[in-house]
Structure 1
């Protein structure tokens, strides 16, 4: 009883201390914010994290409105103890992308990425170390490697399209949502392309379960305690990296035995083993980034990059083709001139290159609905952003790829694939505004693979399937999941439009 009374006697002091800390936090926020548009008052400790998690679309739309309210092109906010800066201006976004270095900005990919992905990650690297790793990754995306992936991609896309049509025909009165179907197709494609034969059926089931944990955790508060989604995601990443490290070991053994590469890890390990052999011959240590554990971590980076962003683009491709029938007709006409389902052959790399308008459609989809709308960076030091504003050290900075896509281009609010055709070349004229694959030293190394995947999907989907969107009010509004997709998950009715599906396997 005496203890309780003593505790109660301290209550006024504890409350005073709490209010004092809240006051200091508010003063710190306003000091960093200065004259920048953004909320004047923020909730203590958590800031506006709840509104971000509850409705990210509304949150970022508001940040964009703040940024548009002045000529500066950026706005401020506060999330879980971190001051954040949203950048709408293309020129300022380029300033961030071009200053990724230890004494300026650190690319993090997610506001709490290092906790989630781990410290050893391609996106966290700088300078020569980063250049050396990108050089070692380059063999994964040679024309020969990409041609191998194209064959794999088509087989998996075709199998899934068949199952989608069957699913739709079994419930002809109800539309089917494509988001999770596309996600599953992309996860299988990524697995086959990246680590192919090295994942057993059991490993794939565990892999898919862990990747789902990771995906859910991306959109949750960073509470790293048992039972919380963020903790589940972090532990899932560790297991996924371990699985991919084992795949790297098996690939090394297979390539050492003289087999030809059949997936991305094989192309990588082929070059990796040559470098290791050369180092041993010279009496040197193994080259950096050659251990299976490190490679497993980098493979997870590839998987993440190839998975969610691609799912977003596939969904928007279906949505935009449905709402632009003249574009759909041109795509079908072009594909039919190059490839037909009756041929029972895969679309070759050369045929894919002939589909210039279809590729223009793919690029316009990526511009119009950039899947990774923002690329988070952290200011490692104070950074002079403009003449009258210095970004404080520790600020999380969000250059908006999405906002840049609607600046500079001719009639940027119009879906217009012709802007990427040879006659107009807006991809060159307004190159600085097309930031969907990033810019600077950390520009996406697999962008050709990503475009190939989207072009293949569009070519096969439009040639083999008749589709109609189930349109409702707000169905095409943007939802963050964590990349963007139509709010209704892209609900469609599907049916077969060709005499029969081709047999590619």
Structure 2
């Protein structure tokens, strides 16, 4: 009995010690959070007064993402191997290599590929006269476009292409799930999906290099980059230097994976907003159609890069969509040195800052909460006077390299959709006010986008 009692006493002693340590840790965690937000004058930066122990805001982000990101927006200050977190010489080298991907010739090639896929998908949508939630249809269109433009002829197996799309969806879902990576969870499926996609892209990079070495004409982004990488490898060999790290098949696959992820959700969200806003603003859509009829009398002809560059008003509309509803609510930044955030608070080196792109887009512009493409006209020039508030594509050394590609994709979609059909949007209680009730998936979408489309007869838009 005495031994048993002694064991109980010891066990209670351990339990009490662990409890004391846990309480001390939680108290330290709360104190550290508050101390990190304290300015030189002793005031606290805006933000929550309490952090959920151990997991922080993860629970709220999963259960109530709108409120989570809305609170981040209210308290924000505009202002590894993943490309977004690369710095130094390696980052400069790979950014220089990217110049070959977005030349006038390359962008023109992509535009013609985009044209064909957009026409095909819109024709499929119009087979049914019933109302639909347009978001999944646009997602499929965008996925098909990205895959064709980025890896085109190297995703030539129908089963592989279908599995590729499914794996990409698993990746997206993984970002919205509780962060637990064990077999069967959404995060685990997302990880497996990424591994599959990297494997496919690695083989595509190898095939592309062989094709370019054989003298084939570049017909997708992978080809343009493979061509450039081969030149860099040859130059390094002649100089007796190591081959650039970004020229390996694995590195190319990783980077194209980054491109795919960056383009998929962000562009899908912007395409959905573009469709909805045009349904709500027939006056602006009419101006888009006037421009299209003037520039494209033969509506069946493939849009070229040269014609796209003349679509001044359509480009203004697209740019305003990107400002009015930036698809990403924030872009994490790691400070490379001390950064003065406010007059009396300096973020230390290595701090993770998450500037709100949404808040930035609503500052500085004339009547910023109004959709107004004319703000980017040559007369008003708010794209110049407010350029520091247009952060949709980021800024600084990590400014999005694919911004021209993404913008072109939206313009091609608008040009073809505007002249192919008429469409209307039905509002529900959830979408009665698009400014207050968004979906985060993980980019922002309207609460719903219930669209009815109908064929337009020739160029006569009724």
TM-score scaled to structure 1, two decimals? 0.84
Compared CA separation, residues 45 and 380, structure 1 to 2 (3 A): farther
Q: For 2:361, which of 405, 411, 428 is the aligned residue? A: 405
Offset of 1:21 from its aligned partner? 1.8
Q: Could you say which residue in structure 2 is the equivalent of 1:154?
A: 115
- Within 5 A, what are the aligned runs for 1:233-252? 233-252=190-209
Write the distance in 2 (CA, Å) between the matches of 1:500 and 1:421. Answer: 26
Q: For 2:224, which of 258, 267, 278 is the aligned residue? A: 267
The answer to whether 1:443 aligns with 2:452 is no
Offset of 1:350 from its aligned partner? 2.1
Write the distance in 2 (CA, Å) between the matches of 1:278 and 1:31. Answer: 52
The answer to whether 1:496 aligns with 2:455 is yes
Give CA-to-partner distance per residue, 1:180-230, whole Å, 9 cap, x none. 111111111001000101012122122112111110111223323333322
Q: Helix, strand or coil for the counterpart of 1:435?
A: coil
Q: Could you say which residue in structure 2 is the equivalent of 1:96?
A: none
Write the distance in 2 (CA, Å) between the matches of 1:387 and 1:337. Answer: 52
- Within 5 A, what are the aligned runs for 1:7-18? 7-8=11-12, 10-18=14-22
The answer to whether 1:140 aligns with 2:96 is no
Q: Could you say which residue in structure 2 is the equivalent of 1:57?
A: 66
Write the distance in 2 (CA, Å) between the matches of 1:432 and 1:386. Answer: 17
Q: Helix, strand or coil for the counterpart of 2:392?
A: coil
Q: Could you say which residue in structure 2 is the equivalent of 1:389?
A: 345
Q: For 1:463, which of 419, 434, 437 is the aligned residue? A: 419
Q: Could you say which residue in structure 1 is the equivalent of 2:90?
A: 129
- Within 5 A, what are the aligned runs for 1:90-489? 93=79, 119-166=80-127, 168-169=128-129, 172=130, 175-199=131-155, 200-340=157-297, 343-379=299-335, 383-392=339-348, 395-475=351-431, 476=434, 477-488=437-448
Q: Helix, strand or coil for the counterpart of 1:337?
A: helix
Write the distance in 1 (CA, Å) between the matches of 2:243 and 2:48. Answer: 52
Q: Is the 1:217–1:229 Cα contact (8 Å) retained in structure 2?
A: yes
Compared CA separation, residues 432 and 379, structure 1 to 2 (3 A): closer
Offset of 1:59 from its aligned partner? 1.7
Q: Could you say which residue in structure 1 is the equivalent of 2:77?
A: 88
Give CA-to-partner distance per residue, 1:248-303, whole Å, 9 cap, x none. 00001111111100111111111211222233344443233111110110111111
Compared CA separation, residues 468 and 444, structure 1 to 2 (3 A): same
TM-score scaled to structure 2, two decimals? 0.91
Write the distance in 2 (CA, Å) between the matches of 1:481 and 1:234. Answer: 17
Stretches of structure 1 lacking an aligned partner (at least 5 in a row) = 68-86, 94-118
Superposition RMSD in Å = 2.1
Stretches of structure 2 lacking an aligned partner (at least 5 in a row) = 39-43
Write the distance in 1 (CA, Å) between the matches of 2:457 and 2:306. Answer: 23
Compared CA separation, residues 387 and 355, structure 1 to 2 (3 A): closer
Q: Is the 2:202–2:250 Cα contact (8 Å) retained in structure 1?
A: yes
Q: Helix, strand or coil for the counterpart of 1:495?
A: strand
Q: Could you say which residue in structure 1 is the equivalent of 2:41?
A: none
Write the distance in 1 (CA, Å) between the matches of 2:199 and 2:344. Answer: 47
